[in-house]
Amino acid sequence: MSRAADIVRDYGLRPDDLVVHTGGDGSGLLADLRGLGCRVLVLDPDGGTGGRIDTLRTTLTPAAARLIRDRYGPVALLLAAADVPLAVASACLAPGGAVVTAAAEQRRAA
């Protein structure tokens, strides 16, 4: 099973759930998640996805969290390249949404 399919299963994602990736290059994984029916978004100050994935050129700030929730809706899964302030992340999360750091995801996948 693919990593994306594992994530969909493990976090109970449904079609049209929003998955947001902060920092780093998560475009391959996000493309796979999109192929499984998720809506996807990257937060990258450098805008490094080459237009393949919808990208906001920012980091996860309180203003960005409000913008995500207002423009895209609540986030079912936030994949963070590094630790993010939980108070900021919770501002855009759906009820029951999850925040997973890259380090935790790597441990889970191992």
Q: What is the pLDDT of residues 45-61, one digit of tens each?
A: 887 656 678 889 998 99
- Give dist(CA 53, CA 35) in Å, integer: 12
Which pLDDT score is estimated for 101? 82
Residues contacting 36, CB < 8 A, separation 6+: 4, 5, 8, 13
User: Other CB atoms closer than 10 Å to residue 2's CB: what's the count?
Assistant: 12
CATH number of the domain that 64 lies in?
Answer: 3.40.50.150
Instruction: Give the Cα-Cα-Cα angle 32, 67, 29 (nearest 5 degrees).
Output: 10
Residues contacting 13, CB < 8 A, separation 6+: 7, 19, 33, 36, 38, 76, 77
* Structural domain count, the chain: 1
- What whole-number percentage of the chain has pLDDT above 90? 55
- The pTM of this model reads 0.88
Determine phi and psi for 65, rounding to 5 degrees. Answer: -60, -40
Structural domain boundaries enclosing 73? 3-109
